[in-house]
Amino acid sequence: MEWKKSLLALMLGSSLALAACGGGEEEDAAVEKTEEQTPSTDEGTGETTVSAGEEVYQQSCLSCHGENLEGGFGPELSAIGSKMSEEEILSVIENGQGQMPPNVVEGEDAEAVAAWLAEKK
């Protein structure tokens, strides 16, 4: 019974570590990176579509910064755009800061997240 608890703890810890680093999984090929960087409304349904930056945030950043940008292990980001420019946010994503490691997301994904977060004021 004791080994089952240890195995469960190991599996849970590994899952959390992978989730915090974006999971290491490839994005679904069906997801286009050319999506708009701001939420828009689908004229036919009235539903809000998710921007590329928000989608990357949900996949790679949510575990530390919270589902609603409220913070958790990482700082709150709900009004980060009023404190930092898009370029400054991108620099933190690329170079890391405090407990955040560098390059959790990279390239166009990092740029999309920085643009999306810069709108949060």
pLDDT digits (tens, 9 = 90+) for 32-86: 333 344 444 445 544 455 799 999 999 999 999 999 999 999 999 999 999 999 9
Question: What's the DSSP call for residue 82?
Answer: G
**Does domain 48-121 correspond to CATH entry 1.10.4080.10?**
no
Torsion of CA 8, 14, 17, 18, to 10 degrees: -120
CB of 23 within 8 A of CB of 59?
yes
Q: Rounded distance, CA 41 to CA 49, Å?
A: 6
Q: Rounded distance, CA 15 to CA 63, Å?
A: 11
The overall pTM is greater than 0.75 = no
**Position 61: which residue type?**
C
